[in-house]
């Protein structure tokens, strides 16, 4: 038990985790884990049998990462059991450059510039010679919509449609997700809960909960499916920095924008399974299909 | 009020008229005395003591000629959930390409990047074959064709190849 806890602290790198845990509880964990304040008798460790996770594609030289399974029923956190997380998803090297590439891709690939400055051909009129070539002493012109004229066309202005689209390599996007999840776990910003069921639909309940547990100002709750329990949707409706997201919607930008990431067990299983599948399977060159809009 | 603050107020009152604070200072101190001469180096150089906007004095009634700063809201619904389904082909259904969820991008430009000529050719293919764009927007269709014709001629006759800066 002590070894598992020391591994958990080792995840955090330079960030100092200990102030959250009062010394008395640490001592009690060392002495007798079942009698500690962190694990109340109602949710005994015997229940943890149900939460034992089977890690797929587990290389023999790697040890699993560990995180607490918490609850959302009470304002103060109740640690139900310790979960094992796959090291390739939650313990990979924090690649800041890969995270940067993913964030840049997310901001740019949908960017569209639809500004257009009308050229001399697109403006009305401009077919007639404004005044004769010779005799007037004025400069010679052929059209009153040339770029030289006031209200004339723009020669080299912005021309729509301009896109900044590009696709990041598939494996780099997968790596972006794994590295961001690892960073979140290491910096104590990742919390795993049983489910998003809360007792009331009161907005204050969630705010007090986040305050009491010292979660970040902004929290991202991730569940497996896109239909969320009624109470949490009502409670987080008006708070713009508490957001709900399905597992398929998880992305590097949102994980960095929100300080804390809260995953349900179902979401964790789904995300881990999908990421491990994409890391380990034999793709035969079909891992990313090019977007082919049909115009036939 | 010591000599330094006196000098400051004097210079500020000058600045109100001149809109500039440039005085010749000696090396060691800013105070003005009879013995102070301009330094023997950097002849003609005027030290700018104050840069940027001049400070507002307490009795000033005219406001600054610029709008009051209002920070943007980083948590609007669009900004809060930005990038939500970008990894849907990894974490969700494999057959959905994330660019097909970019609904704000016009369908003829989705998943496409290129110079103006390429984009217009692609746009013509997308709009001309399957839609009624030709009959519903005759002028825009004509302009599209006109621009494609012009660019083809211009790129082939007036520009060197492989110089992307010219377009």
User: pLDDT tens digits, residue range B136-161?
Assistant: 999 999 999 999 999 999 999 998 87
Q: What is the CA radius of gyration of chain B?
A: 32
Rounded to 5°, angle at Cα A88 from A280 and A167: 65
Asked if the model's pLDDT at residue A40 lies above 50, the reply is no
Number of H helices, E strands in chain B: 6, 2
Q: DSSP character for B99?
A: G
Q: What is the pLDDT of residue B24?
A: 52
Average pLDDT over residues A116-122: 96
Q: Which residue has the higher pLDDT, A253 or A43?
A: A253
ipTM above 0.95, yes or no: no
Res A44 pLDDT > 50: no
How far is CA B164 from each of CA A146, A292, B79, B157, rounded to the nearest angstrom? 25, 25, 34, 15
pLDDT band at B3 (very low <50, low <70, confident <90, very high): low
Tell me if A161 and B93 make a contact (CB, 8 A cut-off): no
pLDDT of residue A222: 98
Instruction: Find the residue in B nearest to A221 (Cα).
Output: B81
Show the DSSP H helices in chain B as ranges: 3-18, 77-80, 88-91, 116-130, 133-136, 138-157
Task: Please compute the mean of the pLDDT values over residues B54-67 and round it to a whole number.
Answer: 78
Please list the residues that pair with A192 across neighbouring strands: A69, A263
- Report the pLDDT value the prediction gives residue A17, as an integer from 0 to 100: 38
Distance CA A154, CA A147 (A): 5
- Per-residue pLDDT, B53: 76
Asked if residue A229 has a cis previous peptide bond (ω within 30° of 0), the answer is no
User: How many Å lie between the alpha carbon of B110 and the closest alpha carbon of chain A?
Assistant: 8
Question: Does pLDDT of A295 surpass 70?
Answer: no
pLDDT > 90: what percent of chain A? Answer: 75
**CA–CA distance, A66 with B80 (Å, rounded to integer):** 29
Taking an 8 Å cut-off on Cβ atoms, the answer to whether B111 and A291 are in contact is yes
Is A112's CB within 8 Å of B83's CB?
Answer: no
Mean pLDDT score of chain A: 85
Q: Which of A166, A288, A296 is facing B113, going by the closest CB pair?
A: A166
Q: What is the CA radius of gyration of chain A?
A: 29
Distant-in-sequence, close-in-space partners of B17: CB < 8 Å, separation ≥ 6: none
Q: Which residue has the higher pLDDT, B61 or A116?
A: A116
Identify the residue whose tokens are 């002590």: A2
Q: Would you call A166 helix, strand, or coil by DSSP?
A: coil
> pLDDT per residue over B10-53, tens digit each?
545 544 544 444 455 444 445 566 567 777 778 888 877 777 77
Q: Are B123 and B108 in contact (CB under 8 A)?
A: yes
pLDDT of A282: 79
Q: How far is CA B28 from CA A240, B10, B37, in A?
A: 56, 20, 12
* CA dihedral for B8, B11, B15, B17, sign (positive or negative): positive
Beta-carbon contacts of A264 under 8 Å, excluding residues fewer than 6 positions away, are A192, A193, A194, A195, A196, A222, A223, A224
Question: Which residues contact residue A62 at a Cβ distance below 8 angstroms, ignoring those fewer than 6 apart?
Answer: A87, A88, A91
Q: Which two tokens stand for residue A53?
A: 């996770």
| Minimal C-alpha gap between B74 and chain A (Å) | 9
Exposed e or buried b per residue across A83-98, where buried means at least 16 C-beta atoms within 10 angstroms of its C-beta: bbbbbbbbbbeebeeb
Closest CA to A91 of A186, A5, A173: A186
The arithmetic mean of pLDDT across residues A175-182, rounded, is 98
Q: Per-residue pLDDT tens for A48-91?
A: 455 688 999 999 999 999 999 999 999 999 999 999 999 999 99
Give the residue ranges of DSSP H helices in A136-229: 170-186, 203-212
Q: Distances in Å between the alpha carbon of A256 and those of A191, A207, A211, A234, B79? A: 15, 20, 20, 25, 13
Helix residue spans in B19-137 (DSSP H) = 77-80, 88-91, 116-130, 133-136
Place of tokens 């991008």: B105
Helix (H, G, I), strand (E, B) or coil at A106: helix
Full-model pTM:
0.75
Residue B57: per-residue pLDDT: 78
CB atoms within 10 A of CB A254: 23
CB contacts, 8 Å: B130 with chain A: 295-296
Mean pLDDT over all residues of chain B?
A: 81
DSSP B161: T
Pairwise CB contact (< 8 Å): B80 & A293: no
**Chain B from 11 to 30: CB within 8 A of any A CB:** none
Element (H, E) at B85: none
């Amino acid at each position: 038990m002590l070894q598992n806890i020391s591994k958990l602290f080792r995840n955090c790198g330079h960030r100092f985790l200990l102030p959250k845990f009062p010394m008395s509880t640490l001592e009690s964990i060392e002495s007798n884990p079942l009698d500690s304040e962190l694990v109340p008798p109602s949710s005994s460790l015997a229940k943890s049998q149900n939460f034992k996770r089977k890690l797929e594609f587990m290389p023999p030289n790697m040890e699993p990462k560990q995180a607490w399974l918490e609850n959302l029923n009470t304002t103060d956190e109740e640690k139900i059991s310790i979960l094992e997380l796959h090291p390739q998803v939650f313990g990979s090297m924090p690649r800041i450059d890969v995270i940067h590439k993913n964030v840049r891709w997310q901001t740019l690939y949908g960017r569209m510039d639809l500004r257009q400055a009308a050229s001399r051909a697109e403006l009305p009129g401009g077919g007639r010679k404004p005044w004769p070539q010779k005799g007037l002493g004025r400069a010679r012109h052929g059209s009153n919509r040339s770029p030289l004229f006031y209200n004339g066309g723009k020669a080299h202005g912005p021309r729509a449609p301009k896109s900044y689209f590009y696709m990041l390599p598939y494996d780099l996007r997968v790596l972006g997700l794994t590295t961001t999840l690892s960073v979140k776990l290491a910096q104590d910003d990742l919390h795993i809960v049983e489910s998003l069921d809360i007792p009331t639909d009161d907005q204050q309940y969630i705010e007090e909960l986040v305050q009491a547990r010292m979660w970040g100002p902004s929290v991202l709750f991730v569940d497996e499916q896109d239909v969320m329990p009624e109470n949490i949707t009502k409670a987080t409706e008006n708070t713009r920095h508490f957001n709900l997201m399905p597992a398929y919607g998880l992305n590097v930008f949102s994980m960095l924008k929100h300080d804390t990431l809260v995953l349900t067990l179902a979401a964790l299983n789904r995300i881990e399974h999908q990421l491990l599948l994409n890391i380990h399977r034999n793709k035969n060159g079909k891992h990313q299909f090019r977007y082919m809009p049909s115009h036939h | 009020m010591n000599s330094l603050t006196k000098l400051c107020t004097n210079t500020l009152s000058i600045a109100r008229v001149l809109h500039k604070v440039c005085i010749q200072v000696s090396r060691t101190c800013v105070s003005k005395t009879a013995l102070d001469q301009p330094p023997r180096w950097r002849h003609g150089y005027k030290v700018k003591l104050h840069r940027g906007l001049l400070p507002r004095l307490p009795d000033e009634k005219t406001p600054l000629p610029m709008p009051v700063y209002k920070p943007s809201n980083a948590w609007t619904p669009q900004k809060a959930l930005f990038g939500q389904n970008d990894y849907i082909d990894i974490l969700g259904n494999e057959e959905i390409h994330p660019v097909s969820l970019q609904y704000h991008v016009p369908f003829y430009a989705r998943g496409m990047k290129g110079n103006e000529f390429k984009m217009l050719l692609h746009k013509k293919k997308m709009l001309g074959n399957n839609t009624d764009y030709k009959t519903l927007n005759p002028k825009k269709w004509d302009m599209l064709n006109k621009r494609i014709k012009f660019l083809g001629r211009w790129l082939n006759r007036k520009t060197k190849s492989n110089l992307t800066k010219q377009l």
